[in-house]
Amino acid sequence: MMASIQKNGDKLDLAPKKFNMWIFIFTSSMFFAALTSGFIVYSGGKGHGLNVIMPSAFMYSTAVIILSSGTLFLAHKAAKNLQFGVQQLYLWLTFALGVAFFAIQVYGWYVLTYKMNVYLTDPNASRSFVYIFTGMHLIHIIAGLLLILNTLTGSYRNIPQVKNLFKMEMTSIFWHFVGIIWIYLYVFLLLNQN
């Protein structure tokens, strides 16, 4: 009886946090929609297109973020099956892939700046949007990496399973969202690169 009350109490305490996550996802989606709308409005004028081919680094980072969603899915599945060692392994893999994504994106900036002569302060502001899109996304990646570390910490501390699963769910929602946003931005940039 007491365990049931504790479990229900945990669920009640956690519900507002989940609602806040969905509100954050909604507002972030609107933020990225506003950025892409701003790009469309600005680049609609004559001569304001990107006129640059996206670096191949962005294609590789797309593959990495998709792979990281797969490893996070496996971590969540392991947590549900009480396989905590497997959960931790896949969380570490997801974290490593997230760091790799970050590094590849920064390398993409290097290619844009030093090999393609595309700058944040480019006279053609359309090109600046590439840095704005990817920079704002990288801020979300950092938040996702912190969530993954928080979930990992909880799994090593043997927190109650209801909280472990909640952390996994929150991390999964956010990380998959970040992956979807990147795919959206990458496809958007590809379609507007000329």
Maximum Cα–Cα distance across the chain = 70
Q: What is the model's pTM?
A: 0.88
Lowest mean pLDDT among 12-16, 20-24, 168-172: 12-16
* 162 in Cβ contact with 169 (< 8 Å): no
Compute the average pLDDT of residues 26-45.
Answer: 88
Place of tokens 């060692």: 85
Q: In whole numbers, what is the pLDDT of the chain averaged over residues?
A: 88
pLDDT at 8 over 70: no
Query: For a pLDDT cut of 90, what percent of the chain falls above it?
Result: 64
Compute the average pLDDT of residues 130-144.
Answer: 94
Which amino acid would we find at residue 82? L
pLDDT of 1: 39
Lowest mean pLDDT among 52-66, 79-93, 114-128, 161-175: 114-128
Burial letters for 152-174: b for 16+ Cβ neighbours within 10 Å, e otherwise? bebbeeeeeeeebebbbbbbbbb
Tell me if the domain spanning 2-191 has CATH number 3.40.50.2300: no
Query: For a pLDDT cut of 70, what percent of the chain falls above it?
Result: 92
Helix or strand (DSSP H, E) at 115: none
Compute the average pLDDT of residues 130-148.
Answer: 95
